[in-house]
Structure 1
Amino acid sequence: MSPHPVIAIAGLACENSTFTPSRTLAPAFHPKRGDEIIKHYSFLHSGTDIGDAAEWRGALIGHSLPGGIVTRDAFEEFAGEIISRLKQMPALDGLWFDIHGAMYVDGLEDIESELLRRVRSAIGPDVIVSASMDLHGNVSRELAHQTDLITCYRMAPHEDALDTKERACRNLVELLSQRPRGSRPLKAWIPIPILLPGEQTSTRDEPAKHIYAAVPGVEATGGVLDAAIWVGYAWADEWRNRAIIMVTGWEKDAVAAGAEKLAKLFWEARGDFHFVAPTGSFKECLDTALASKARPYFISDSGDNPTAGGSGDVTWGLTQLLARPEFKDASGPKVIYASVPGAEAIKDAVDAGVGAIVTVTAGAEVDNIHAGPITMTGQVHAIKHGDQHAVVEVVLQVGSVFAILTKLRKPYHKERDFTELDLSPRSADIVIVKIGYLEPELYNMAKDWMLGLTPGGVDQDLKRLGHSRIRRPMWPFDTDFASEPDLKARFIPLSNEALDGPDE
């Protein structure tokens, strides 16, 4: 018998817009199994305090780029394999549930809870489960019930993603080694009727900055194990989507007080949330960038952001850009546009080679709601093979615009994403990326920027999308509340107890 607790690792992570027509298939999850999982997370390696504190056993994890709804077949394939692998393991003491929290599967509700329900059927009710999540995930009452420990990122952009996963594992190891036998921590859960996009809740800016800054203080309170705030996921139309506070620990009064403090901070700041940068229509963004002396000037083509759930192949932004007279000639302001997928366009450009003049058609193969495929004639500037997401990338120079085309959709977050394509974003006049708030490297590179309120499956204008299933009233969909929401802590039954009553 192992002197250390035996802990399994399993989970599926994706962020899925229900307003995006694309579908997420099994290959998008890039699954890892067994020892691949241990190797993937350096804090689990032999010689680390967490790695040496338990016998870690990987089942299966899958992390997909955000996108449209996950197909039922893809989910059932991975869920079935997870259960099969868990059943083959020795008796477990713990499970690290490695998830995102905003996955949506065709035909199923509250999917992280559904997956954990199936996992529980394989591992039993006595196994301690610790979940790590994105702060843009959703914590239903049922998910809160089935977990014993649960935490999420405290930074947006998510510079603390690995820290959060490590914290979930550390909390689990410490709980298994220190708790009185058979005991489980208390769990306070508070839903808040607020649903905002990440571009209004970045922890770089107020009010999210001071709200999240209060989390470590609550966590440091005697009798508290962990404190967490979920903003929720704004681009899925389902009943569980809203902000959530959870605090876990041993002292009921301390746990409740900490949860209520964070909930009050969030609710009282509801009217102070704002976009992380100046906003405008795409035309207004381009006009402002051209008039500015700041270089490079970044513009977020936010409505089709592939890291928020956009299809990534909306051509609306690139169509508008290439129609502008300022960029018709190669001597015009240098613009980089990332990106539009088009497998046939990529093939034609690769066949022609760097330096060739080609006419290609790309985009709108999936999401043609706002614009159709775009046909361009330009010179092949660069070709790159082997990217994890794009597979193949081509840069096509059309006038003074350097448009990045991809075989499959890809987010552009790092400087090397551009320099490896023989592009220098620092020397460009304007850089346009399909993104919401700028990721750290882009943010540090930009001399100025605007958030373009462009159409797509992750439109920043939430009311324009047409939610019909979220709970109402919900800020900012509703601004007049008949009464103040109940922000008192609800104590969730332990995972090995029955969950009584309807979901709130």
Structure 2
Amino acid sequence: MPSATSRRFRIGIGGMAIESSQFCPHRSAYDDFRVTRGAALLDRYAWTRPDGELAELVEWVPLVHAVAVPGGPVERATYERIKDELTGRIRESGPLDGLVYDIHGAMSVVGLDDAEADLTDAVRAATGPGTLISAAMDLHGNVSRRFAAQLDLLTAHRMAPHEDAWLTRERAARKLVGRLVRGTGRPHRAWVQIPVLLPGEKTSTRREPAASLYGRLASVEALDGVVDAALWVGYAWADEERCRAAVVVTADDPELAVAQAGSLARAYWDARRDFVFVGPTGDADACIARAVASPARPFLISDSGDNPTAGGAGDLAHMLGRLLAHEELASGRVTALHPGITDPEAVAACFDAGTGAEVTLFVGGRFSAGTGPYAQPCELTGTVTALEDAVAPGSGGRRENPAYDGRGRSAAVTRGGVTVVLTERRRPFHTRADFGSLDPLAYDLVVVKIGYLEPELHAMAADWLLALTPGAVDQDLLRLGHHKVLRPLYPFDDEGFEEPDLTPELL
């Protein structure tokens, strides 16, 4: 530990985080990112407080951090702009003892095959070999060898939904500070990929076998000589060789790292056929029929194929069309709230018309038109029942994405028993506050563009179903058309699949 007269360790903080479906027609541009610098960047984290316990040890150096709502691949110019700023600020900051690298791990960039590896190569070149880099990642990220080899420490969330996201970042920071304080330098990293690629809705830690697999990580981390243990399920909606599950065990004892990484990889491989969806499933019509017939209220349905927080376009009106086609909903005998279809033109038309006006709109398909029959706009004649200038900030703590910061207008239109929320910008509805003036508890059904339910939605639901709807994040991976993933790969290949070599490699 430095003395009171010695310099504190200089640790930079920065990164770029987005989850990008390569099957999504949307392209993520610079304006889709919330870019944070200076004091505002340090304010993102509780452990950077000037009165915190690490303040005596560390001089935190804010670089730049960019985060966006998941969507389509990032435009190359946008990526290069953010990469250049990050690496430029690293060079301008002077020598850094460490870097907390706050990323996601499933970023796709137009024209790149491994965006995180490209970014990390540039970051390592900027820091030089003497800086310890500690990455905090989403468990839905991809971990190629090229990417992992440039890092000194890397860890990932251990919960899905990601209720431990901020704990993961703090763990990455504290592990880094601990290495610097003890002077133990770069640990060994045992890395292995597993030829399995599953959607997040089949790997939620609310269900087995993910609950037990992720539950093992803390006990591995607690072993003498181990620094960290991490398991990634990979990102199912990109089409690259790196897309697959992975394990990294970081340790001062290389043999222990290899043994534990191999054991975790084997357990994941052996459990590959045991993963099931986090909730009961059906197609759109079956889920709507079951929800209407159920006495449970509110009954939530996930429109999973167009989930914007997994990389969906968020503009598909497929589920809206199926809701309007159901007689009980069309007549108003049963009510449903369906947020939120991204359609800035429709929102503008509603604002022009005003609350209480009747409008005829062609809703949806602003990004996805022409990508399939499910992407056709839906004709909607109804009454404008609510207009919101912005989404009120929630009360659930820090917000990850620009959509959570009150940006963008929305309009509610009601036809029969169905109220649809149209949004100016792509954004999720995860908390009660995200619904603005509309009360989801006042409706029989709430149909949200999401996969597994986030905590507030989960607590709200009297019952729920996961609708296996089409879209850029379709849960049926085999109908999406992957052709660049490294084969064989489960579930694309199963029968006759030879046992893979799961021997970890020391980096």
For the criterion TM > 0.5, the same-fold answer is yes
Which segment is superposed worse, 47-56 or 441-450? 47-56
Alignment of 1:174-193 (within 5 A): 174-180=178-184, 183-193=185-195
Q: Is 1:480 the counterpart of 2:495 in the alignment?
A: yes
Q: What letter is aligned with 2:367? A: V
Return 5+ residue gaps in structure 2 as ranges: 392-401
Equivalent of residue 106 in structure 2, options 94, 98, 102: 102
Deviations 1:422-455 (A, max 9, x none): x222232111001111111111111111111111
Deviations 1:70-89 (A, max 9, x none): 00010011111112211111
Equivalent of residue 256 in structure 1, options 253, 258, 264: 258
Give the CA deviation at 1:224: 0.3
Secondary structure at the residue paired with 2:375?
A: coil
Structure 1 Cα separation of the partners of residues 192 and 455 of structure 2? 31
Structure 2 Cα separation of the partners of residues 203 and 32 of structure 1? 31
- The answer to whether the 8 Å contact 2:20/2:108 transfers is yes
Secondary structure at the residue paired with 1:49?
A: coil
Q: What letter is aligned with 1:60? A: V
Q: Is 1:409 the counterpart of 2:426 in the alignment?
A: yes
- The answer to whether the 8 Å contact 2:233/2:246 transfers is yes
Q: What letter is aligned with 1:63? A: V
Q: What letter is aligned with 1:375? A: E
Q: What letter is aligned with 1:26? A: Y
Deviations 1:443-469 (A, max 9, x none): 111111111111100000000001111
Q: Is 1:427 the counterpart of 2:442 in the alignment?
A: yes
Structure 1 Cα separation of the partners of residues 200 and 466 of structure 2? 12
Structure 1 Cα separation of the partners of residues 116 and 497 of structure 2? 32
TM-score in terms of structure 2 length: 0.94
Give the CA deviation at 1:323: 2.2
Which segment is superposed worse, 13-22 or 264-273? 264-273
Alignment of 1:192-211 (within 5 A): 192-211=194-213
Secondary structure at the residue paired with 2:161?
A: coil
What is aligned with 2:329? 327
What is aligned with 1:114? 118
Give the CA deviation at 1:2: 6.2
Structure 2 Cα separation of the partners of residues 398 and 491 of structure 1? 60
Structure 2 Cα separation of the partners of residues 12 and 81 of structure 1? 11
Q: What letter is aligned with 2:139? A: L
What is aligned with 1:164? 168
Structure 1 Cα separation of the partners of residues 99 and 93 of structure 2? 12
Structure 1 Cα separation of the partners of residues 466 and 460 of structure 2? 16
Distance 1:177 1:288, change over 3 A: same
Q: What letter is aligned with 1:380? A: V
Distance 1:235 1:51, change over 3 A: farther
What is aligned with 2:395? none
Equivalent of residue 305 in structure 1, options 304, 307, 329: 307
Alignment of 1:441-456 (within 5 A): 441-456=456-471
- After TM superposition, what 4+ stretches of structure 1 lie above 3 angstroms from structure 2? none
Equivalent of residue 157 in structure 2, options 153, 158, 162: 153
Q: What letter is aligned with 2:410? A: E
Q: Is 1:399 the counterpart of 2:403 in the alignment?
A: no
Structure 2 Cα separation of the partners of residues 76 and 2 of structure 1? 38
Structure 1 Cα separation of the partners of residues 376 and 502 of structure 2? 47
Structure 2 Cα separation of the partners of residues 220 and 335 of structure 1? 48
Structure 1 Cα separation of the partners of residues 445 and 6 of structure 2? 58
Equivalent of residue 316 in structure 2, options 291, 314, 317: 314
Distance 1:481 1:216, change over 3 A: farther
Distance 1:265 1:77, change over 3 A: same
Which segment is superposed worse, 83-92 or 64-73? 83-92
Q: Is 1:354 the counterpart of 2:350 in the alignment?
A: no
Structure 1 Cα separation of the partners of residues 174 and 249 of structure 2? 16
Structure 1 Cα separation of the partners of residues 339 and 124 of structure 2? 43
Structure 1 Cα separation of the partners of residues 6 and 28 of structure 2? 40
What is aligned with 2:36? 32
Q: Is 1:341 the counterpart of 2:342 in the alignment?
A: yes
Deviations 1:127-148 (A, max 9, x none): 1100000000011001110000
Distance 1:35 1:281, change over 3 A: same
TM-score in terms of structure 1 length: 0.94
Give the CA deviation at 1:292: 1.1
Structure 2 Cα separation of the partners of residues 65 and 481 of structure 1? 39
Structure 1 Cα separation of the partners of residues 117 and 156 of structure 2? 16
- The answer to whether the 8 Å contact 2:488/2:497 transfers is no
Equivalent of residue 280 in structure 1, options 279, 282, 286: 282
- Computed over aligned residues only, the root mean square deviation of the Cα atoms, in angstroms, reads 1.3
Equivalent of residue 436 in structure 1, options 446, 451, 455: 451
Deviations 1:98-155 (A, max 9, x none): 1000000000121111111111222211111000000000110011100000000000
Structure 1 Cα separation of the partners of residues 294 and 62 of structure 2? 52
Structure 2 Cα separation of the partners of residues 345 and 235 of structure 1? 28
Give the CA deviation at 1:482: 4.4
Distance 1:103 1:51, change over 3 A: farther
- The answer to whether the 8 Å contact 1:35/1:57 transfers is no
Deviations 1:299-324 (A, max 9, x none): 11111000000000011111221122
What is aligned with 1:19? 23
- The answer to whether the 8 Å contact 1:343/1:362 transfers is no
Give the CA deviation at 1:218: 0.3
Equivalent of residue 123 in structure 1, options 127, 133, 144: 127
What is aligned with 1:498? none
Give the CA deviation at 1:51: 4.0
What is aligned with 2:399? none
Deviations 1:26-68 (A, max 9, x none): 1111100122210121221111223442111111111110000
Deviations 1:227-278 (A, max 9, x none): 0000000000000000000000101222122212211221111111000111
Structure 2 Cα separation of the partners of residues 425 and 51 of structure 1? 43
- The answer to whether the 8 Å contact 1:306/1:409 transfers is yes
Secondary structure at the residue paired with 2:237?
A: coil
- The answer to whether the 8 Å contact 2:301/2:446 transfers is yes
Structure 1 Cα separation of the partners of residues 338 and 305 of structure 2? 15
Structure 2 Cα separation of the partners of residues 72 and 2 of structure 1? 43
Give the CA deviation at 1:481: 4.3
- The answer to whether the 8 Å contact 2:364/2:375 transfers is no
Give the CA deviation at 1:475: 1.0
Count of paired positions: 487
- The answer to whether the 8 Å contact 1:295/1:427 transfers is no
Q: Is 1:265 the counterpart of 2:267 in the alignment?
A: yes
Identical positions, percent: 46
Alignment of 1:80-95 (within 5 A): 80-95=84-99
